[in-house]
Amino acid sequence: MNQAWGETNFLSMLKSMGETCMVYNLGTIVLVDLSEKKVTTEPFGEQLARNILGGFGFNTWYLYKHLPKDALALGPENILIISRGLLTGTAAPASSRSHISAKSPLSGLMGSSNVGGHIGARLRSLGIAAMVINGRSNDPVSLLVDETGVSFRTGQDLWGLDTRSAESVLRKEREGQAVEILSIGVAGENLVPFACIMNGTDHAAGRTGMGAIMGSKNLKAILVAGVKNREKS
């Protein structure tokens, strides 16, 4: 397919569905250092969006560029990435998927898992294209992401709970808000190499042991809440 023709028709499709967003403005990359409890951001950039489209493309590109060659899958130097694609949060069919990647504890190679649910759409509503998480917290921790930014919440009270129970606690703290949660259960906490990450109660990132990566970082959950104007996302 001619690239210009394909791009024109792609944008026309979005317009016909009432999508007025700047499709190549994926927003912000949020960089979280769990060791230092530090959060920084950088723009995704239109050219990067045109080249790799976000989602799996971004995860692969970022790990190739930034993951140390000798990184251990369950070491603090491994990088966990949660990202969305160009169409996530729009009315386009099958666009609700998000992608989670890191070095896999199963294979020692790049691991990726595609997950359903609404975590990607919630990130888009906050203008976030991807979350890049490295380091390791000394104690169990959860990340809270909303319109004010990213904050750290103790995960001590959630550690040892299954994902449904942990999510119930977090949802009660944000009662009345539109909330999406990624969490791990006891398998992830105990670094089972095929542990999954759950988005809500029904959607699993079940491939390549991404739950063990969260567990190795002492990261119990990521809660995303609050909606900004979609025109800015």
Q: What is residue 233's predicted lDDT score, i.e. its pLDDT?
A: 44
Dist CA 133 CA 30 (whole Å): 8
127: left (phi over 0), alpha (psi -120 to 50) or beta: left
Which structural domains are found in the chain, ordered by start? 25-226 (3.60.9.10)
Query: pLDDT tens digit string along 86-116?
Result: 888 877 777 889 999 999 999 999 999 999 9
* Digit-coded pLDDT (tens) for 42-75: 998 888 888 888 899 999 999 999 999 999 999 9
Residue 226 dihedral angles phi and psi, to the nearest 5°:
90, 145
Q: Tokens 């995960």 — which residue?
A: 155
Say how far apart CA 150 and CA 223 lie, in whole Å.
Answer: 10
Has residue 1 got a pLDDT over 50? no
**H helices within 140-185, ranges in order?**
163-173
Q: Helix or strand or coil: residue 183?
A: strand
pLDDT(231) > 50 = no
pLDDT digits (tens, 9 = 90+) for 195-215: 999 999 899 999 999 999 999
| Residues contacting 25, CB < 8 A, separation 6+ | 44, 46, 49, 233
pLDDT in tens, 130-152: 999 999 999 999 999 999 999 99
**pLDDT recorded at residue 228:** 54
Share above pLDDT 90 across residues of the chain, in percent, rounded to a whole number: 73
- For residues 81 and 100, the answer to whether their CB atoms sit within 8 Å is yes
